[in-house]
Amino acid sequence: MQKIPMPTTLPYGAGVTSRTVSDHYFSAAPASADERRTINVPLAGRTRAVRVAPGVFSADRIDEGTSVLLQHAPAPPDTGTFLDLGCGWGPIALTLGLRSPAAAVWGVDVNERALGLARDNARSLGLPNVHAVSAQAVPADLRFDLIWSNPPIRVGKQVLHELLLTWLPRLAADGVAYLVVQRHLGSDSLQRWMTEQGYAATRFTSVKGFRILRVENPG
Ligand SMILES: C[S@@+](CC[C@H](N)C(=O)[O-])C[C@H]1O[C@@H](n2cnc3c(N)ncnc32)[C@H](O)[C@@H]1O
């Protein structure tokens, strides 16, 4: 199968849709060898060892946008049902699980390798409250008090919109989502689109070229 190198920057709406690209981080089953390794990263105020692998988003460090979200989103509530949409190896779900041990944290991803890593990381960090699963495995009646996400902008506008229209309606009545999006990858246009869909989408903050968008259930 032909390998096409990933572009380094790709604006919102210009996603890679070709099925010939088989080893991008949003493949269900990345083609690269599953060579797992351990890295040390800052999570919830301490350095912790986590497992990562090629074929998974930001496999050598915590992504800069993710780090902006973790440092600048408001503290999560002590309890509730939380979602990390597109969990990768788990930095957001693990942080939520560490900061709110009484909450139930769900992490979903399309990438099975990422889910396996997130599960291993939750286990090794002693977090039985973090569940990394495929979208289909999330109980259909669950509603989320909090969604934190570094969403997969590079999948393209259409897939991203479908993803958000699948999960944002599952916010609880007073639930809130915080999404981190790079300004150059279309954060403002995504904010406008969510507003057009009836969500109260505002810019919570802007840090280092990233926006954190705050999205409320329209009720
Ligand atoms: C920008 S990465 C963020 C990963 C991780 N949360 C982090 O901060 O390192 C977006 C993630 O969304 C996942 N993703 C792509 N399409 C998806 C879909 N349809 N459903 C769920 N996750 C998806 C990708 O596999 C990727 O892990």
CA of 47 to the centre of ligand 1 (A): 23
Check if 147 has its Cβ closer than 6 Å to any atom of ligand 1: no
Instruction: Say which range, 14-23, 47-56, 107-116, 186-195, has the weakest mean pLDDT.
Output: 14-23
Sorted by where each begins, the domain ranges of the chain are 62-216
What is the ipTM, given to two decimal places? 0.99
Helices and strands of the chain, counted as H and E runs: 5, 9
Which band of pLDDT confidence, cut at 50, 70 and 90, is reported for residue 32? confident
Q: Is 156 helix (H, G, I), strand (E, B) or coil?
A: coil
Q: Is the C-beta atom of 81 inside 6 A of ligand 1? A: no
Confidence check: pLDDT of 188 > 50: yes
Q: What CATH class has 62-216?
A: alpha beta
pLDDT at 219: 72
According to DSSP H, which parts of 45-111 are helical? 64-72, 91-99
pTM of the predicted protein model = 0.91
Question: Which CA distances in Å does 65 have to 57, 81, 199?
Answer: 12, 23, 22
Which ligand 1 atom lies nearest to the CA of residue 27? 25
Mean pLDDT of 161-188: 97
Token pair, residue 138, equals 């999330």
